[in-house]
Amino acid sequence: RSPFRPQVSAAAAAGAFPRRVKVVEVGPRDGLQNEKNVVPTPVKINLINMLSETGLQVIEATSFVSPKWVPQMADHTEVMQGINKLPGISYPVLTPNLKGFQAAVAAGAKEVSIFGAASELFTKKNINCSIEESLERFDEVMTAARAASIPVRGYVSCVLGCPYEGKISAAKVAEVSKKMYSMGCYEISLGDTIGIGTPGSMKEMLTAVMKEVPVGALAVHCHDTYGQALANILVALQMGVSVVDASVAGLGGCPYAQGASGNVATEDLVYMLNGLGIHTGVDLQKLMDTGTFICNALNRRTNSKVAQASCRL
């Protein structure tokens, strides 16, 4: 694929927002993986089933990683086989390597995700190899996925900062994104892994990435650790990004800052998009009911401000 022309979408240049935004729900995987309490398989399945009733089109269901590394996702096969798969809804799963991919497909997965990073140190600490080596592993997954007609979503972590390296150059994010897109990922989700980004760094990073990847193939995955998530998402929308990741009830703390929050809450995101007149297809009340369910199961308070405000006097 040739490098994309560096510009925002025509609508964005006119100061308009996208008319529709696709919300990618990562609560059952990214959320639950980063919660202190582990939930039993039936609860995970019920969570995903409830999410399937909200209008969400994409729900990340689980992770086919070895339970040695991620015990919270040990029941990946049971979850994948146990959920109601509604037509029109995609249930992607994480697959770190070929073995995970094969297990995922055997369990019925029809879409997978792979996780890269814009930081060498983060990659080393997280999966014990360099960025280049991780992309080589993913190549095997890409080949198998292409043969099986399975779409692959690519994630790039640490796009606005790294817990080990600190500042991350926008050019590096663009480079890794371009590689993953060229390998065949249909969408690249740019993750502010430690929530450290601001509208300033978001804009700078997206400007660089949009020179290499078409804006229609970009998503943002913002963490709210510093309260910046919605402001960062707003800027991304203004630049033409129309896919946003979020986690019901803001499930999933930040493993790098004890007690701090992580994922942005889907309810708060949908509230903002509704206020902007942007179509998501998501029913906010049903989403909040789902958040209530999982918070009760986890015995924790919601991280969603919309949910908190709505339990009013």
Partner 1 sequence: QESQASGLPEYIKIVEVGPRDGLQNEKVIVPTDIKIGLINRLSKTGLPSIEVTSFVSSKWVPQMADHKEVMRGIERHPGVQYPVLTPNLQGFHSAIAAGATEVSVFGAASESFSKMNINCSIEESIEKFEEVAKSARNMNIPVRGYVSCALGCPYEGNIIPAKVAEVSKRLYSMGCYEISLGDTIGVGTPGSMKRMLEAVMKEIPLGALAVHCHDTYGQALANILTAIQMGVAVVDSSVAGLGGCPYAKGATGNVATEDVIYMLNGLGINTGVDLYTVMEAGNFICTALNKKTNSKVAQASFNTGTIN
Q: Which residues sit at the interface with partner 1, rule CB under 8 A?
A: 161, 195-201, 203, 224-228, 230-231, 233-235, 254, 256-261, 265, 268, 271-272, 274-277, 304-306, 308-313
Q: Which spans in the chain are helix H?
A: 10-13, 32-33, 41-52, 76-82, 98-106, 120-127, 131-147, 170-183, 199-209, 229-238, 266-275, 284-298, 305-310
Shortest distance in whole angstroms from residue 242 CB to partner 1: 16
Q: Of 112 and 246, which has the nearer Cβ to partner 1?
A: 246
76 three-class SS: helix
- Pairing, β 187-192 against β 152-157: parallel
Q: Of 182 and 274, which has the nearer Cβ to partner 1?
A: 274
| Residue reference for tokens 């959320």 | 31
Q: Of 93 and 237, which has the nearer Cβ to partner 1?
A: 237
Active-site annotation holder among 158, 185, 222, 254: 254
Q: Of 160 and 217, which has the nearer Cβ to partner 1?
A: 160
196 three-class SS: coil
Q: Of 35 and 78, which has the nearer Cβ to partner 1?
A: 35
197 three-class SS: coil
Question: Taking phi first (over 0 means left), then psi (-120 to 50 degrees means alpha), and beta for anything else, what does residue 166 get?
Answer: left
| Residue reference for tokens 């007149």 | 277
CA triple 152-38-189, angle to 5 deg: 25
Shortest distance in whole angstroms from residue 246 CB to partner 1: 11
Q: Annotated catalytic, 254?
A: yes
Shortest distance in whole angstroms from residue 199 CB to partner 1: 6
Six-digit token string for 247: 């986690």
Shortest distance in whole angstroms from residue 276 CB to partner 1: 4
Shortest distance in whole angstroms from residue 272 CB to partner 1: 5
What are phi and psi for residue 171, nearest 5 degrees? Answer: -65, -35
The set of catalytic residues is: 254
